[in-house]
Amino acid sequence: MASSSGSPRVDAESDFMRARRHQVLSGLAARLRNDTDDVVQSMSFDDVVEALGRKAENYIGTKVIPLDAIVGSVDKVRDFDRRFRPTSAVSRQRWERLARASRTGEVIPPIEVYQIGDYYFVRDGHHRVSVARSLGIDLIEAKVTAIETFLRPVGIGARSDLELKYWRRLMLERVPFTGEARAAVAVNNPFDYGVIAETVEAWGARMMHAEGAYMDKPTMAARWYAEEFQPVVEMIEDAGVRGKDERPAEAYLRVACERYRLIREHEWNAEIMEAVTSKGGKRKR
């Protein structure tokens, strides 16, 4: 809990100045570390939902949540930083009024938040969150609405992570992988997800033409993974051309692109793999 001088008004003013000072120093340190803004700014609820895809929402009710789990805002991402310290003195009077109320034991109404996985985003009560964190409080009462998303809400440390989630979601909407295939087809470059989707769709078109039969998207995804992706990845492993830090899907894309560039072939066999790797398909370690 923050120190007390015995005067709630003086203490509230001191609380605000301390919060602003820490926010300014934190921003300066981030610039010295060459951190991007998305590391220090509050996360946008709308950006997260767009990246993950909204499926449904459900009002849970009022419960006590950890303040450290509140990572963003619905509409005030520029007014508070990631730790909900105020970024300006625009609402100083309101902030200090709430700080005085908290210090004198007044009843503070619950905040309102959206919950996405283990993350919370403030709908109403930004100043209450800011004051509580400044005073060293760990928990806060909140009215919670849970949002169910298309992608699992994990691995979101900064807004830059959302681009990868966004393109992965688009890929999975076009090519609905499930089970182990869904986990295996993962890449680090967000734009590679678009390449994977186009690759699978082109493979499906060739197969439908060759077989003279229609293939729906789930079938196409399952067959491509079993008949194309897994065998090729096994050949890449056997040939020893997957880089140390290269994901299987990244190795597949690299070798497949090299194969078509050099040989103009869509088939796979030992001879083609040897031709590709001997002509520049090996991954430098």
CATH of the domain at 25: 3.90.1530.10
User: Has residue 221 been placed in a domain?
Assistant: yes
Chain segment 78-118, per-residue pLDDT in tens: 888 878 888 888 888 888 989 888 888 888 899 999 999 99
Let me know if residue 58 belongs to a domain: yes
Count of structural domains within the chain: 2
Q: Is residue 36 part of a domain?
A: yes
DSSP-H helix ranges across 33-149:
37-40, 45-52, 92-103, 126-134
**The domain boundary residue, chosen from 149, 184, 205:** 149
Contacts by 212-219, CB closer than 8 A, 24 or more apart: 217/174, 217/175, 217/176, 218/176, 218/178
Count the neighbouring beta carbons within 10 Å of the beta carbon of residue 115: 21
- Do 118 and 218 belong to one domain? no
Task: Give the per-residue pLDDT at 129.
Answer: 93
Strand 119-124 and strand 70-73: the pairing is parallel
Higher pLDDT, 75 or 34: 75
Beta bridge partners of 149: 54
Q: Are residues 34 and 130 located together in one domain of the fold?
A: yes
Residue 30: is its pLDDT beyond 80? no
pLDDT exceeds 80 at position 31: no
* pLDDT at residue 88 in the model: 83
Of 9-13, 43-47, 261-265, the range with the highest mean pLDDT is 43-47
Inside any domain, residue 25? yes
CA distances from 122 to 22, 71, 175, 231 (A): 21, 8, 34, 47
Could you tell me if 14 and 137 lie in one domain? yes
- 143 and 20 within one domain: yes
In a domain, 183, yes or no: yes
pTM given for the model: 0.71
Query: Are residues 32 and 136 located together in one domain of the fold?
Result: yes
Q: Would you say residue 214 lies in a domain?
A: yes
Instruction: Note down the domain range covering 54.
Output: 8-149
Q: Is residue 161 part of a domain?
A: no
User: Does 157 map to a domain?
Assistant: no
Residue 193 has pLDDT above 80, yes or no: yes
pLDDT digits (tens, 9 = 90+) for 231-280: 999 988 888 878 888 999 999 998 887 765 544 555 555 665 665 555 54
Bridging pattern class, strands 54-66 and 139-149: antiparallel
% pLDDT > 90, the chain: 48
Q: Is the same domain home to 247 and 120? A: no
Residues 22 and 135 in one domain: yes
pLDDT band at 281 (very low <50, low <70, confident <90, very high): very low
Do 66 and 17 share a domain, yes or no? Answer: yes
Asked whether residue 37 falls in the same domain as residue 145, the answer is yes
